Amino acid sequence: MDLKSRLESHSISTLRKEISKTNIKGYSKMKKAEVVALMLKHSDRFNHIQQREKVARKAPAPRKAPEPKKEEPKKVKKIIKKPVKKEEPKKVKKIIKKSFAILFLLSSALLFFFAITSALLLFILSIAVLEFGNTIFRV
């Protein structure tokens, strides 16, 4: 048998493995026919390759026809309705608590504001009385 038919009997992956053992480069993207042609150019390096023996494949086992499914009687499930818990009062209580907290913060802020303004007004009035009093009681 000639070298070409021996090389063509192998897969491209085995041919590439054989080329990789030599110092030949640029074969990785080649197709099988191109790899064989390249190997034939360097035939002295690939004379050791023998004809690949074809392995007889086993015939696939015949498929069994699917058996018809047996219908089982349907099971009836009892649906038990659980009483629905009312969650609205809990939500309402949370909202009320939050609104009271907000009102408390607002009222304390207003009281603080009024305390500051009243203290500031008293301070301004005391300064005005002192200044005005000095002008009235001057002799």
Residue 76 lies in a domain: no
* pLDDT tens digits in sequence order for the chain, 139 residues long: 688 888 888 889 999 998 988 888 888 889 999 999 999 898 888 888 888 887 777 777 788 777 777 777 677 777 777 776 666 677 777 787 788 888 888 888 888 898 899 888 888 877 777 776 666 555 4
Q: How many domains does the chain have?
A: 2
Residue 122 lies in a domain: yes
Residue 57 lies in a domain: no
Residue 79 lies in a domain: no
Q: Is 130 helix (H, G, I), strand (E, B) or coil?
A: helix
pLDDT at position 34 is 92
pLDDT at position 136 is 57
Residue 22 lies in a domain: yes
Residue 12 lies in a domain: yes
Dist CA 37 CA 8 (whole Å): 10
Tokens describing residue 111: 């009281």
Dist CA 10 CA 7 (whole Å): 6
Residue 111 lies in domain = 104-139
